[in-house]
A and B are shown apart, each in its own frame.
Chain A
Amino acid sequence: MTSRRAGSAHPGGERVPRQAPAQQGSHEAPDGRSPLWRAHNGLRAVAFLYALVWFALLVNDYARPVLGSIVLVLMAVWTAFTIHRYRTPNGRTNRLVLIDLAVAQVLFLANEFVLTEQQMQAGLPTVVTVWHGSMVTAASVQWGMLGGGVVGAVAALSNFLLRGYIDSNMWMDTVLHVGAGLLLGLASDTARTSTERLSRALRAEAATAERERLARSIHDSVLQVLAQVRKRGLQLGGESAELGRLAGEQEVALRSLMAAAPPESTEHDETDLAARIRVLGTAGVQVSVPATPVLLPAPMASDLFSVVREALDNVDRHAGDDAKAWVLLEDLGHEIVISIRDNGPGIPEGRLSAAEFQGRMGVAQSIRGRVEDRGGTATLDTAPGDGTEWEIRVPRPGDTNSIGQGTAGHRQKSPGAQ
């Protein structure tokens, strides 16, 4: 028997690490703005080709064709360079986007010296044409709605500055510049927040899995040993009893630490009640839960967990040293059912006024109060020599189709059974 125990504790502890921990870095979601950057790159390339066509049509009439060619070559170089840099997340720095703005502005304003006065007045396109606008898309993808709007306004202003007059076409350009900046910026903001949310959820999931793995391993090893030491120490008495008491304190402390550390909540702020209750199992307490998580809003899960713990504490105090307890958690979909049973002596008849029972009633009222606050029922069933059994039923919040599915076969116990 002794060797069996030793043998069982060991493999349990040894085997746990076999589940490989999740790969580092896999908890980061890919940047949701990447598609926007690709779109920006595409737009800039198309805008450059567009500029190339206009250049071929107009180059002979330019006031300074050589300067125009230089501007065009610089555009080509800058287009290629930024497309390359914006392709990877590391290249999308604030500094690059700022330089991008400066380059686009300089090349745009250089048209002051390229185009003739007539071309300018006739509203013919500059060498950069709509390529100028791609600085707005870069800024809005990088900085969001505010940045996009501001840079759109800057682009529109420099347009007025270059032309030196205002007409309906230019108003349209203004609306397009600022509008595109705001709209793309909004898309970028949305993409960024959803990326962040996804990353958070992935991290939470990884943390929960790790916590559960740790909890299981601690439960299978340390807690069982501490419980054993406490029990044996108390039996031996004297100095051993003191050691046993200390072990017991640590057991309780560790257990509540494992149970109370708020498991990183899921996206909807739900907690797996099954995982939390499982921690309460000891040599004397058998916990039975479904294999799948029982997800409940975190405050409700905490409340129900405390109720179970309170009921088990009560068993510890009143049911005698040899008493065993069983906890059963059932998820009926619309309703959560928890049963806590012990095989102690039960509550003797005619002891209603006894001090011990007074203590029990206090606990019973506390359990009932908490369950009823959640719209549920708590019934206590006991008979002399037949232990006590709590049955706690709580409706799952937000459930509208409360059909009596699966509940058939349960008798509703009356509190008056005692």
Chain B
Amino acid sequence: MTGPDISVMVVDDHPMWRNGVARDLEERGFEVGATTGDAVSALRIARTVRPDVVLMDLNLGDTSGVEATRQITQEIPGTRVLVLSASGEHGDVLEAVKAGASGYLVKSASVDELVDAVRRTAVGDAVFTAGLAGLVLGEYRRMAIAPDAGSQAPQLTDRETDVLRQVAKGLTARQIASKLVISHRTVENHVQSTLRKLQLHNRVELARYAIEHGLDEDGAFGKQ
């Protein structure tokens, strides 16, 4: 996919930033279908516009960007969410990724990095920064040693652990591929699979929580 084939929606409550990103993307040939500053209209607009990629800020005024991410990725199958946040690589980024975001980029990233990340997100790749890899790795480690996690908690294979550690140490996919003597594509697949397992587990946990608390199955959970 090249620029013009990809439609993007920008969700950020800071107008200056929102417009700046939209302009940058349009200059590179992306189609910025919509921009909005709050999570509620983000979900509404995304349902009709069905963008390929939603660029999501996590600090929104109304509901959190994490909830918006969860609802968009669950309700609109073709749409992928790329988190673009200034909040630093902390818990909320991990939560957004667990909720279904396919990647994360810091706001201080260059336009080239942004463009590359949007392209990769559109084709279904996971966009990982070293910081996000550290968070995801930490989450698997936490589940592995948590006494209550039991056997349902997802685990990384040795290879996945290895790949994730290299990403967290700043190696590019290409460098990792040559270091581990595997193909570039295999590296991408490993990274994606670590994310998918985490998201699946998160969804199962939420569903179980919903059932235990007697909530309605369809869409009632997550809105609290």
Instruction: Please report A residues at the B interface, Cβ cutoff 8 Å.
Output: 1, 3-5, 7-8, 10-12, 15, 18, 216, 219-220, 224, 278, 283, 286-292, 324-326, 328-333, 339, 341, 343, 389, 405-406, 408-410
Q: Which residues of B contact A3 (CB under 8 A)?
A: 20
Residue B16 interfacial (CB < 8 Å): yes
B91 within 8 A of A: yes
A328–B168 touching, CB < 8 Å = yes
A409 touches B159 (CB 8 A): yes
Given contacts A15-B59, A219-B88, contact A329 B170 (CB under 8 A): no
Do A7 and B20 touch across chains, with their CB atoms under 8 A apart?
A: yes
Closest residue on chain A to residue B155 by CB atoms: A406
The residue in A216, A288, A291 that gathers the most chain B C-beta atoms within 10 A of its C-beta is A288
Question: CB-CB < 8 A to A18: which residues of B?
Answer: 59
* Contact status A4-B59, CB under 8 Å: no
Check A8–B86 contact: CB distance below 8 A. Answer: yes
19 pairs, CB–CB < 8 Å, chain A vs chain B: A3-B20, A7-B14, A7-B20, A7-B107, A8-B17, A8-B108, A11-B59, A12-B86, A219-B88, A290-B137, A291-B135, A325-B170, A328-B134, A331-B138, A339-B168, A343-B170, A406-B144, A408-B158, A410-B161
**Shortest 7 CB-CB distances between A and B: which pairs?**
A290-B138, A288-B134, A409-B158, A333-B145, A326-B170, A8-B107, A12-B86
The residue in chain B whose Cβ has the minimal distance to the Cβ of A288 is B134
Q: Which residues does B use to contact A, with CB under 8 Å?
A: 14, 16-17, 20, 24, 59, 86-91, 94, 107-108, 110-111, 129-131, 133-135, 137-142, 144-145, 158-159, 161-162, 165, 168-170
Docked Cα-Cα span, A18 to B61, in Å, equals 10
- Cα-based distance from A330 to B135 in the complex (angstroms): 9
Are B161 and A409 closer than 8 Å at their CB atoms?
Answer: yes
Of the candidates B140, B145, B170, the one having the most CB atoms from chain A within 10 angstroms of its own CB is B170
Q: When the two chains form the complex, which single residue of B59, B86, B87, B130 contacts A326, counting CB atoms closer than 8 Å?
A: B130
**Chain A residues, Cβ within 8 Å of B165:** 328, 330, 339, 409-410
With A11-B14, A216-B88, A408-B158 known as contacts, the answer to whether A288 contacts B131 (CB < 8 A) is yes
